[in-house]
Chains A and B, each alone.
Chain A
């Protein structure tokens, strides 16, 4: 999987959201907002190709969480992002 081109993570106060700043029409109607841990994963992934194992490794490195839980959370996160259209296969 990889990020869809042209998306940037913006921090607004205590909130994070993914904004398609490169487009002429920015759609907030289908807004993707992130909490701290999801924002950390998004930033850490950079422009590289990734999968649920990459994300679960990031989670276990940063948070006190066992591998099974991290992998389950990683899959849930990537499903959410796929459905929101901010990442693609």
Chain B
């Protein structure tokens, strides 16, 4: 007889949001690589605090319509919406209502050590990565084009 089960991530995040709304802080294992190098999925642990106020540059847990939960960085805020993007995502952004932002990730635990995500150094590094995003996109496009050309050449030789 087995007494343990794996809880689906969506269910776990529903519960996380419920607890955040009650004012609790939650420790949860990170998933995915969209926030690399700041957050490593499946190895880092996130400490998520209730979101009392938010600003551009913060990493937040939000629920996106049609996508589900994401832990991404705020890249823009306007009068009605919050815009998010993963640090490691070259393209695309998510939009949500401020009420769909449930928590803010201030600390990540990696290898037993706590790292602040709101320190001046961490914020500077994030700004720098955002600044060089056009260059990262260009590098990706060139490398992608090269792969296609190489594949065509190989097919012709065959």
Interface residues of A in 3-40 (CB under 8 A from B): 10, 12-13, 15-17, 19, 21, 23-29, 31-35, 37-38
B1 to chain A, nearest CB (A): 5
Q: Which residues of A contact B14 (CB under 8 A)?
A: 12
Interface of chain B, main secondary structure: mixed
Once the chains are docked, how many angstroms separate the CA of A23 from the CA of B22? 11
Are B5 and A26 in contact, with the CB atoms below 8 A?
no
Q: Which residues of A contact B27 (CB under 8 A)?
A: 25-29
Q: Which residues of A contact B6 (CB under 8 A)?
A: 33
B11 to chain A, nearest CB (A): 5
Choose one: B7, B26, B28, B45; the contact of A12 (CB below 8 Å).
B7
B4 within 8 A of A: yes
Q: Contacts A35-B5, A73-B1: A13 and B24 contacting too (C-beta < 8 A)?
A: no
Q: In which size bucket is the chain A interface? A: 20 to 34
Q: Mark interface residues in A25-64 (1 if CB within 8 Å of B CB, else 0).
A: 1111101111101100000000000000000000000000
Q: In which size bucket is the chain B interface? A: 20 to 34
Q: Which residues of B contact A10 (CB under 8 A)?
A: 15
Once the chains are docked, how many angstroms separate the CA of A23 from the CA of B26? 10
Are A28 and B16 in contact, with the CB atoms below 8 A?
yes
Q: Which residues of B contact A37 (CB under 8 A)?
A: 1, 3
Once the chains are docked, how many angstroms separate the CA of A42 from the CA of B45? 28
Candidate in B19, B29, B47 with the most chain A CB atoms within 10 angstroms? B19
> Contact residues of A with B, CB < 8 Å?
10, 12-13, 15-17, 19, 21, 23-29, 31-35, 37-38, 73, 76-77, 80
Q: List 16 A-B contacts (CB under 8 A).
A: A12-B14, A15-B8, A16-B5, A25-B24, A26-B19, A26-B25, A28-B12, A29-B28, A33-B6, A35-B2, A35-B3, A35-B4, A35-B5, A38-B3, A38-B4, A76-B3
Kindly list the 4 A-B residue pairs having the minimum CB-CB distance in the complex, ordered from nearest. A38-B3, A27-B27, A28-B28, A33-B5
